[in-house]
A and B are shown apart, each in its own frame.
Chain A
């Protein structure tokens, strides 16, 4: 399972960065989404994958009685997902606006910022 997930994370990172390097704006967004998912999966993978109960100590005990799952990676992933949700929706609107104003999808033609003025 770990090996499979590790390969998947690697694939997501690689394809994400490949997509970001393309010149099309839409592919840029796809790349960002893939990269974000890769990072989330990586947190999940590195937080150790265990089958276990919620980390709650029973009332009549001082220690965990059974194997428990680490809740921190789950909280981290949830936070990261919420953040990437916001960022990605912003990205989509930004690209839509940019396309409307600049009238191109090609990053190479976006060079108004380098003009001498």
Chain B
């Protein structure tokens, strides 16, 4: 599927879709959205890019193996769950909130970092799965 239209479009769509996925990720606190959906959208952006430009180009664009995102995301989620135990003495995964207004994000809490971890894990897992399926002869 190496048509010039798709290739040109995917180059523009990649940053737009990534930005959209981050929007969906941050929106997830009060409205439909969140880490899982955002992660899927980000993964779709890369998949589209690989459709148009071939797997090799997408991999060189990513620079590191997507599998590496899995432990990173898991670690982020794990420590965001652990933070209330360390800082406040509350049970595992209690929400910790910074009650000031932050521009763009609204308010920051440990739940946001948990969601970011989910986002990274989903991107990592989905890309690993899809790359493996399309690579295998």
Interface set of A (CB-CB < 8 Å, partner B): 78, 82, 86, 89, 92-93, 96
Contacts and interface: CB of A to CB of B under 8 A. Distances in A.
Nearest to A81: B36
A86 B133 CA distance: 14
Contacts of B133: 89, 92-93, 96
Contacts of A82: 36
Interface in B75-126: 125
B60 interface: no
Interface residues of B, number: 6
A78 B37 CA distance: 11
A96 B125 contact: no
Interface of B: 36, 125, 129, 132-133, 136
B136 A96 contact: yes
A83 B60 CA distance: 30
B129 A89 contact: yes
Nearest to B37: A78
A86 B40 CA distance: 13
A11 to B, nearest CB: 28
B37 to A, nearest CB: 10
Nearest to B40: A85
